[in-house]
A and B are shown apart, each in its own frame.
Chain A
């Protein structure tokens, strides 16, 4: 029997992709509603953004959003690349590449949050 596989991770990742997608509906929904409607007339000025991010809960919420959206995006891109049949070595490169890019995006976002004063 064919045993070239990456074990049960495939299923777990698929489930995480589905769950992160469902979570994003909540997170992205609130991100858009808050950013554009709750703050009166939306986050228009730099000062608006600074005020908005002055609440620690807001920062935590936005960072969570960033983490989940990056995770979902990274897995999605990985899935597209895996569909191209990259072979064993290719799969390893894709896995590492996607992980590093995702980590970079998250760290950059967190760093950015603390740049705004």
Chain B
């Protein structure tokens, strides 16, 4: 293992501060060190007041979303040496209120997201050639979306319009349309068929670029439009 010192320029803000600032910390990293490891080391060895969100440390919970060198990433799977910069800039996600340092308030996101009524689990796609185990009452797996908010931070439209439903919620609606499981896809389709819904998107596809879990929100938004367009045309033809 080779070790080297890397500078971390970290966004700092506490409630009551007039303005945010950046603090620089030097951390010794090796080939395995992630940005999250470095932040934990900073909090442990240099500044116990640094706040950041984290939980699972393997890109499953979605809490450690932040901007590293200007890109939305999950800190837990962002390797410091692979970034290749002598200085690593760490900032909170955009388009959400900042609680302190790297911590943003996810409340607004969840207020919209929860309206999509996406269950936490979905039908499991079994491995090819495998059977379903006898005696297992349900065949389900956890949804891929980590609710990390990276897509919201990267989206150029969420930044300008607070009323835009945003990629995560629209992707969740598309999941429910695909697999309703007791929810009402018609009501959800009507909900997203609006100025603030899937038609607000400009197909910059940044959401899909930054998604750490193969959700492809951009594709989901386009699929929603395709579905709504088909319905609209079908409606027109049906009437004509």
Given contacts A2-B112, A83-B202, 14 further A-B pairs with CB under 8 A are A1-B191, A2-B165, A2-B191, A5-B191, A5-B194, A7-B194, A8-B193, A11-B228, A14-B225, A15-B229, A83-B157, A84-B160, A85-B162, A85-B164
Q: Is the CB of B157 within 8 A of A12?
A: no
B residues within 8 A CB of A13? 199
B4 within 8 A of A: no
Q: Give residues in A with beta carbon < 8 Å to B.
A: 1-15, 79, 82-85, 87, 91
Most buried by B among A8, A79, A84: A8
Interface residue SS majority, chain A: helix
Instruction: Report how far A79 CA is from B161 CA in the complex, Å.
Output: 11
Residue among B157, B162, B195, B229 making CB contact with A5, cutoff 8 Å: B195
B residues within 8 A CB of A4? 163, 196
Residue among B115, B161, B195, B232 making CB contact with A6, cutoff 8 Å: B195
Q: Is the CB of A10 within 8 A of B199?
A: yes
B residues within 8 A CB of A79? 202
Q: Is the CB of B160 within 8 A of A11?
A: no
A residues within 8 A CB of B164? 85
Q: Is the CB of B195 within 8 A of A82?
A: yes
State the 6 A-B residue pairs at the shortest beta-carbon distance, nearest first. A5-B194, A85-B161, A10-B199, A10-B195, A14-B199, A83-B160
Closest A residue, CB atoms, query B232 = A11
Q: Whole-angstrom distance from the CB of B68 to the nearest CB of chain A?
A: 27
Q: Give residues in B with beta carbon < 8 Å to A.
A: 112, 115, 157, 160-165, 187, 191, 193-197, 199-200, 202, 225, 228-229, 232
Q: Is the CB of A11 within 8 A of B229?
A: yes
A residues within 8 A CB of B200? 10, 82-83
Q: Is the CB of A91 within 8 A of B232?
A: no
Q: Whole-angstrom distance from the CB of B96 to the nearest CB of chain A?
A: 15
B residues within 8 A CB of A82? 161, 195, 200
Instruction: Report how far A12 CA is from B228 CA in the complex, Å.
Output: 10
Most buried by A among B163, B193, B195, B197: B195
Q: Is the CB of A85 within 8 A of B163?
A: yes
18 contacts between A and B (CB under 8 A): A2-B112, A2-B191, A2-B196, A4-B196, A5-B193, A5-B194, A5-B197, A6-B195, A8-B232, A10-B195, A13-B199, A14-B225, A79-B202, A83-B157, A83-B200, A83-B202, A85-B161, A91-B195
